[in-house]
Amino acid sequence: MTNDNGYLLQVRDLHTYFYLHQGVVKAVEGVNLRIRPGSTLGVVGESGCGKSVTARSVLRIVEQPGRIVSGEIVFRRKMKGGQTEDLNLGAFRDQSREMREIRGKEISMIFQEPMASLSPHYTIGSQISENLLLHQDISKADARDRTIELLRDVGIARPEARVDAYPYQLSGGMCQRAVIAMAIACRPSLLIADEPTTALDVTTQAQILDLLREMQEQIGMAIMLITHDLGVVAEMADDVAVMYLGRVAEHADVDTIFHDARHPYTQALLRSIPTVGSEARERLATIRGMVPDPFNRPSGCVFHPRCDAAQAGLCDVETPVTVEVAPNHEVTCCACRG
């Protein structure tokens, strides 16, 4: 296990399957990802391509009957005295001491729906304090003071009063701010944000993205930002991983993805976003066909039945390997790896 390039997180050839009565769902089938310290990786792809399962695998919170079958999740953990150590999170048990120490402290996660992270039965203040008390050696009174400070940092007005509010007393945007406060309470080095703004209205979305960026700068944390929205990616991401049916089709810096995409799937995704100034009545390109049934993955390259560049006898037969076509630019495609 090596991580010589100074990445904060490197996911290598990760496979996560769900074992159902009807068969095996290969939700993640050989994912490779990497995140530099302090940077933002946008993870995009159509519904069902394995974005959330990848994120949950990193945190070791994959739901039953799912489990990590193989692969490495190399996380560079900070230790006292400024040293670091590389840990393969894939090798720990979900409930191991190591994972309980890392979850919520060094890697934390926010979900699309704020109520998935908050309990309706406790005040937001007690939920944030709980995370502080779990991971830090501080008194209850200090945890409460720190919680009020955190609520102020995430833009909640009158935090001294709101600290005792229950989630139902706050708007969706306020709740998501509280969730962010909880996620950053222990100053994690990686924040995984799974569709953090999809449930919010457009104005609130923009405010939450601004807040994430501000907190990132303040804490120096990296963000794995999962989103359907390429506009959000353009605005937030340094690097982008484009996923299709359990694999990463293309991985590069954001400019390369938008201006020099090689994978036909990435190119098709880019054609499906509206551009300012395009004719109002012009129809948006859509990617033909549907994402295949996860029980019946196509042979060869899983994208070939929908791909305009597919070559018979090659793409329907050969499983593509991931090739570095330029520094920091990887493509998983039989037809375009040259």
Ligand X SMILES: Nc1ncnc2c1ncn2[C@@H]1O[C@H](COP(=O)(O)OP(=O)(O)OP(=O)(O)O)[C@@H](O)[C@H]1O
Pick 46 or 145: Cβ nearer Mg ion: 46
Instruction: Assess 16 for contact with Mg ion (CB under 5 A).
Output: no
Within 8 A by CB and 6+ apart from 117, the residues are 110, 111, 179, 182, 183
35 counts as binding ligand X under rule CB under 6 A: no
* Span of 48-56, 98-106, 115-123, 153-161 interacting with ligand X by CB under 6 A: 48-56
- Nearest distance from residue 51's CB to ligand X, in Å? 3
Told to check if 196 binds ligand X by CB under 6 A, we report no
Pick the closer one to ligand X by CB: 27 or 163: 27
Q: Which is nearer to ligand X, 14 or 143 (CB)?
A: 14
Q: Contact, 71 vs 13, CB < 8 A?
A: yes
Residue 66 interacts with, from ligand X, Mg ion, none (CB under 5-8 Å by kind): ligand X
The candidate with the shortest Cα–Cα distance to 330, out of 257, 224, 228, is 257
Task: Using CA atoms of 276, 278, 279, 284 in order, give the dihedral in degrees to the nearest 10.
Answer: -110
Minimum distance between the CB of residue 28 and ligand X, rounded to whole angstroms? 7
Site string for ligand X, 258-277 (x = CB under 6 A): --------------------
User: Which of 134, 137, 113, 96 shows the shortest CA–CA distance to 52?
Assistant: 113
The first and second tokens of residue 271, run together, are: 């054609």
| Distance, CA of 1 to CA of 72 (rounded, Å) | 8
Segment interacting with Mg ion (CB under 5 A) among 45-53, 75-83, 248-256, 324-332: 45-53
* Contacts (Cβ under 8 Å, ≥6 apart) of 188: 104, 105, 106, 107, 108, 219, 221
Q: How far is the CB of 307 from ligand X (least distance, A)?
A: 19
The nearest distance, CB 321 to Mg ion, in angstroms, is 26
Which whole-number Å values give the CA distances from 26 to 56, 60, 178, 217, 294, in the listed order?
15, 17, 34, 37, 7
CB-wise, 113 or 145, nearer to ligand X?
Answer: 113
For residue 68, the minimal CB distance to ligand X (Å) is 13
Closer to ligand X by Cβ: residue 46 or 318:
46
Is residue 193 within 8 A of residue 128, CB to CB? The reply is no
Tell me which H or E stretch contains 208.
Answer: helix 202-219
Q: Which is nearer to ligand X, 30 or 159 (CB)?
A: 30
Among residues 18, 111, 244, 265, the one that binds ligand X under rule CB under 6 A: 18
Helix axes 124-135, 172-184, angle to 10 degrees: 10
What is the torsional sign of CA 248, 34, 238, 106?
A: positive
Which residue in the set 16, 52, 266, 267 belongs to the binding site for Mg ion (CB under 5 A)?
Answer: 52
Six-digit token pair at 278?
């395009």
**Stretch of residues binding ligand X (CB under 6 A), selected from 43-51, 137-145, 205-213, 270-278:** 43-51
The span from the first CA to the last CA of the chain, in angstroms, equals 29
- Examine residue 25 and tell whether it contacts ligand X (CB under 6 A): yes
Touching ligand X, residues 49-88 (CB under 6 A): 49-53, 63, 66
The footprint of Mg ion (CB under 5 A) covers 52
Residue numbers at the binding site for ligand X (CB under 6 A): 18, 20, 25, 27, 45, 47-53, 63, 66, 294
